[in-house]
Amino acid sequence: SVHPNKNLSNFFLKVSGDSMNGAGIYDGDLLLVDRSLDATNGKIIIAAVHGELTVKCLIEKNKKKYLAPENQKYRPIEITEEQDIVVWGVVTNVIHKV
């Protein structure tokens, strides 16, 4: 599993892919991520799923949690005990190229 440096409160990540286009997050954008914020229902988060980083919306529904994309081409990932998922932080800002 991936364990980021817990002393680093804010960091930038560059987006690769189109799974969050519906939320205004596009391939090549920079995301500002805050590790000090709680990942709660409806927040866009960065998570490591089996060691691979992903940006998704955290959804809690019917006592289950999901990492949900904002693009109908992709399916939500249900968070279960069997999965190796580590939340890295909450996305607070998106920087686009002009």
Q: Are the CB atoms for 89 and 35 separated by under 8 Å? A: yes
In DSSP terms, which residues pair with 12 in a beta bridge?
Answer: 32
Catalytic residues: 19, 56
Cα–Cα distance for residue pair 20/40, rounded to 1 Å: 18
Quick one: tokens of 78?
């249900």
